[in-house]
């Protein structure tokens, strides 16, 4: 069994854990989850698998405290995106203090830091419990996090997604929308009979552009900036010589803390209602997915504990940041668990060349250990 941080991270990267919901025939999390269970067992820490769907396990492990202290959850995800464009994605290469390979940065480095911090908790004789949740499917539908939260809670949580050793206290959410315009099919030579659903969708696109500009004129979030909206996918029509009777547009709206799905749905409905003054215009709108934004006050106890620990380890106060992309931290916060995000430095998440700075992974482990010793004491 690997014992050093570098060996452990390399072992994790060697295991293909491509999310099968993203890539057909992706390996999934079964092998890496079992590796973690076996590795923890060899270290005297019991762990169990929690399956969210067939072949999609997460890992739950716990170092039980002596009693009377606060509990802290360390969280990372097991799955990775695909490997298109990568020549040897599961062969970790170390060069100039950086480890390369799929998942090295997003986020097996954070996972390795959590595992080693759990060993430190085992040896620290803390009063509070330290819990590890290594979850499946974060890169797609977060099935693992949602299932784990049915069984596990804590007084606080740290998600070890990459933050460049900054303390992240906010990230954007998103909503997905389906807009369909309806026309009337007719031969292409009969404009007197046809109603062009694609042309009508063009009006929708114009209004979405106006809405997008309006969002940039609103008060920005101090860490996240402005909300945004964009057209993602469009399809319509039935053949070249016919007026299209239907056009469908898929839209993504990136959201800020304080914005609600109801507000955003109403915004788009109002936009469509304005176009419906034309009696030939007919559109339908459906909200298809919501992932909430995340935010926690900087003076929350877990944030303060992490900031103090990071300052001690790094020799300087860490940057307090927000991040544009969505994470499982939103589910933890929605479950009533005060959550903060802290992870190592690197680059190439979801890209053809992915790497993590090894010194920062070691610092991340030290910050986690220093935090849990203070928070769970």
The confidence score (pLDDT) of residue 216 equals: 98
**75 and 161 belong to one structural domain:** yes
Please identify, among 291, 308, 337, the residue that sits at the C-terminal boundary of a domain: 291
**148 and 12 belong to one structural domain:** yes
**222 and 307 belong to one structural domain:** no
Task: Compute the average pLDDT of residues 107-134.
Answer: 98
CA 314 to chain centre: 26
Q: Kindly state the DSSP code that residue 156 receives in the 8-state scheme.
A: E
Compute the mean pLDDT over every residue in the chain, rounded to the nearest whole number. Answer: 97
Taking only the tens place, the pLDDT of each residue in 267-309 is: 999 999 999 999 999 999 999 999 999 999 999 999 999 999 9
Task: For helices 5-14 and 109-124, give the axis angle rounded to 10 degrees.
Answer: 130
Please identify, among 269, 291, 313, the residue that sits at the C-terminal boundary of a domain: 291
The confidence score (pLDDT) of residue 84 equals: 95
> Can you give the residue range of the structural domain that contains 251?
173-291
pTM over cut 0.75 = yes
**95 and 195 belong to one structural domain:** no
Identify the CA nearest to 298 among candidates 171, 172, 173, 170: 170
Please identify, among 244, 275, 291, the residue that sits at the C-terminal boundary of a domain: 291
**181 and 142 belong to one structural domain:** no
**181 and 256 belong to one structural domain:** yes
In whole angstroms, give the CA distance from residue 90 to residue 93: 9
**14 and 59 belong to one structural domain:** yes
Please report, for residues 21, 169, 225, 303, the alpha-carbon distance to residue 321 in angstroms, rounded to integers and kept in the order given.
30, 6, 11, 12
- Element (H or E) spanning 13, and its range? helix 5-14
CATH code (residue 337): 3.40.630.10
In whole angstroms, give the CA distance from residue 176 to residue 201: 17
Taking only the tens place, the pLDDT of each residue in 348-375 is: 999 999 999 999 999 999 999 999 999 9
CATH code (residue 183): 3.30.70.360
Confidence category of residue 3, pLDDT binned at 50, 70, 90: confident
Q: How many domains does the chain have?
A: 2
The confidence score (pLDDT) of residue 69 equals: 98
**53 and 151 belong to one structural domain:** yes
**22 and 157 belong to one structural domain:** yes
**125 and 220 belong to one structural domain:** no
Q: Please classify residue 63 by burial: count the beta carbons closer than 10 Å to its beta carbon, then call 0-12 exposed, 13-18 middle and 19+ buried.
A: buried
**334 and 268 belong to one structural domain:** no
CA angle 299, 302, 305 (to 5 degrees): 90
**46 and 147 belong to one structural domain:** yes
In whole angstroms, give the CA distance from residue 184 to residue 268: 23
Cα-based torsion angle of the residue sequence 114, 326, 374, 134 in order, rounded to the nearest 10 degrees? -30
How many residues belong to the chain? Answer: 377
Taking only the tens place, the pLDDT of each residue in 199-208 is: 999 999 999 9
Confidence category of residue 1, pLDDT binned at 50, 70, 90: confident
């Amino acid at each position: 069994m690997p014992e050093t941080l570098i060996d452990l991270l390399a072992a994790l990267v060697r295991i293909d854990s491509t999310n099968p919901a993203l890539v057909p025939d992706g390996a999934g999390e079964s092998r890496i989850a079992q590796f973690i269970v076996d590795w923890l067992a060899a270290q005297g820490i019991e762990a169990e698998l929690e399956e969210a769907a067939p072949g999609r396990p997460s890992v739950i492990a716990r170092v039980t405290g002596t009693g009377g202290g606060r509990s802290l959850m360390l969280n990372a995800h097991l799955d990775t995106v695909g490997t298109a464009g990568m020549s040897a994605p599961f062969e970790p290469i170390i060069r100039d203090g950086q480890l390369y390979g799929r998942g090295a940065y997003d986020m097996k480095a954070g996972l390795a830091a959590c595992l080693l911090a759990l060993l430190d908790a085992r040896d620290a004789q803390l009063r509070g419990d330290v819990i590890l949740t290594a979850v499946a499917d974060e890169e797609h539908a977060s099935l693992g996090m949602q299932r784990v939260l049915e069984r596990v809670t804590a007084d606080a949580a740290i998600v070890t997604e990459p933050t460049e050793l900054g303390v992240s206290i906010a990230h954007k959410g998103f909503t997905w929308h389906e807009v369909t315009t309806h026309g009337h099919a007719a031969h292409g030579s009969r404009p007197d009979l046809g109603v062009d659903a694609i042309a009508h969708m063009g009006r929708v696109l114009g209004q979405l552009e106006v809405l997008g500009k309006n969002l940039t004129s609103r008060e920005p979030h101090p860490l996240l900036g402005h909300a945004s909206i964009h057209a993602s996918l469009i399809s319509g029509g039935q053949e070249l010589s016919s007026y299209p009777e239907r056009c469908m547009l898929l839209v993504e709206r990136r959201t800020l803390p304080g914005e609600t799905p109801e507000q955003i749905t109403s915004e788009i409905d109002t936009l469509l209602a304005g176009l419906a003054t034309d009696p030939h215009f007919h559109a339908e709108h459906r909200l298809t997915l919501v992932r909430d934004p995340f935010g926690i006050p900087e003076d929350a106890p877990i944030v303060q504990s992490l900031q103090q620990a990071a300052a001690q380890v790094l020799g300087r106060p860490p940057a307090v940041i927000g991040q544009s992309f969505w994470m499982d931290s939103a589910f933890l916060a929605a479950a009533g668990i005060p959550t903060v995000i802290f992870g190592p430095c690197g680059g190439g998440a979801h890209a053809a060349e992915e790497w993590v700075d090894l010194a920062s992974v070691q610092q991340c482990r030290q910050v986690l250990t220093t935090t849990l010793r203070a928070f769970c004491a």
